[in-house]
Amino acid sequence: MWVILKRIVQPLASRKVRVALATAIAAWAAEAGLGVSQEIVYTILGVGVALILGIAAEDAGKKSART
Question: What are the per-10-residue average pLDDT scores of the chain (67 residues)?
Answer: 85 88 87 82 90 91 76
Q: What is the pTM of this model?
A: 0.72
Instruction: Domain of residue 53: give its range.
Output: 14-66
For residue 32, being part of any structural domain is answered with yes
Taking the C-alpha atoms of residue 3 and residue 23, their distance in angstroms, rounded to an integer, is 28
Return the pLDDT at 44: 87
Return the pLDDT at 67: 62
For residue 6, being part of any structural domain is answered with no
For residue 1, being part of any structural domain is answered with no
**For the chain, how many structural domains are there in total?**
1
Return the pLDDT at 62: 82
Residue 21 CB contacts under 8 Å (≥ 6 apart), including other chains: 12
Return the pLDDT at 53: 93
For residue 61, being part of any structural domain is answered with yes
